[in-house]
Amino acid sequence: MSTPARTVAFQTVGCKLNYAETDTLQRSFAAQGFHPVSFHQVADVYVINTCSVTAQADRDCRKLVRQARRRNPSAFIAVTGCYAQLQPDTLQAMEEVNAVFGSREKFSLLDSLLEEESLQRSVLTSPVESLTTFQPSYSLEHRTRAYLKVQDGCDYPCTYCTIPQARGRSRNGSIAELVEQARTMAAAGARELVLTGVNVGDFGRTTGERFADLLRALQVETSLDRIRISSLEPNLLSDEILDLMAEPNTSLAPHLHLPLQSGSNRILRTMKRRYRREQVAERVRSLHLRLPEAAVGIDVIVGFPGEGDAEFQETEDFLTDLDCTYLHVFSFSPRPGTPAADYPRQVDRREIARRSARLRQLSTLKRRRFQERWLNREAPVLFEYTREGYWWGHTPEYILVRVPAEEENLHNRIRPVLLSRNGGAYMEGQLS
């Protein structure tokens, strides 16, 4: 494009890692004089950072492309992210798309836009094997919580997952670089840091460092009030990490999220997961021996091929007995190019929906019971935003809390709150 457009709109689909990368792209556009606007406004350039973890994510991405074109028929529409890396030809075939940028090309998107006279109908992708460098990224949410990308890619060959095909092998930034970025975010006002990546526990593959040492450095060398681990593979949750979380005056949040995926060991073997359900139960027990009131979130996939009534019942029973706080329930979605897409005994979609509803009901019950334990107790809340006459924020255990909004501006402040009502999805209280 010979004359750069002046307005740009970004839209992100998928995980917090994607959001961190989108924010990094947005800052680079702003540095070149582009004015960011909402995706729902007319813009000269639309950048859509995509996800491809499910077929629904693919559909959502295509829908966003069409929405952008309707808003401005003459806009330049660029698509990047995992869907762009995995299915560039599908996106190029959409008449609304101007250019497709693969995972390696994502962070040179702006340079390509500025340098090329015409990028019409361009597909700029490289083989996934070429993804060998780590691109630093971070985002600030509500100017209170920051997401720091510490790792990218994955070496685990899970039979249902396309992430290794989209993001390449595991790699990471150095502890020194990440600490410096964390300081930058703290200086910008962030009080909570969330460590994000594809497989954060695998940190250190490219630098010879360890995830536990990163946790130590972030605590010692930054002024952040809270450090939260986004998700951790159960087999990578070491006693050392648990001990760090349990240290007096630690800034590590008493909250973990573990991708269990199934409570059936037979299904876990078919998925090629690197643990069995007994190890997950043991890790949760070990956490609660150190931190009895720590929160534990669990990912579970419903309807994996071969999951019959018996295997699902194993999963439901295991999760019922597990001392966890909430569940993220995903319906199995066969992804092209994965072994699981061709496995026999695919589960009927209606049965998947029925089973998913049962687990979501269990999740609601578990969250409510966890929050009941906090009634009439005081907890520190980091306030993030106002809505409907209330200030909203989170406790270290990631309980969503609201208090009536009065004259005091609570944004980005940590205040003790007496929790007096369990609202199910949140708790309500009063400033102490």
Report pLDDT digits (tens) over 136-168: 999 987 789 999 999 999 999 999 999 999 999
Q: Let me know: does 294 contact 397? Beta carbons within 8 Å.
A: yes
Section 209-228 average pLDDT: 98
Report pLDDT digits (tens) over 313-326: 999 999 999 999 99
Section 337-350 average pLDDT: 97
Question: 249 and 266 share a domain?
Answer: no
Distances (CA, A) of 84 to 88, 100, 152, 234: 5, 6, 17, 30
Indicate whether 1 belongs to any domain: no
Q: Tokens 């060398």 identify what position? A: 221
- Domain enclosing residue 244, as ranges: 131-253
Question: 135 and 249 share a domain?
Answer: yes
CATH of the domain at 24: 3.40.50.12160
Indicate whether 411 belongs to any domain: yes
Nearest partner of 318 among 265, 368, 365, 273, judged by Cα: 265
Q: What are phi and psi of 349, to 5 degrees?
A: -60, -35
- Confidence band for 119, pLDDT divided at 50, 70 and 90: low
Q: Please give the model's pTM, rounded to 2 decimal places.
A: 0.94
Q: Let me know: does 192 contact 147? Beta carbons within 8 Å.
A: no
pLDDT beyond 70 at 2: no
Tell me which of 126, 159, 181 is where a domain ends: 126
Section 349-363 average pLDDT: 99
Indicate whether 2 belongs to any domain: no
**Residues written for the chain:** 432
pLDDT beyond 70 at 4: no
pLDDT averaged over the chain? 96
Residue 152 has a pLDDT of 98
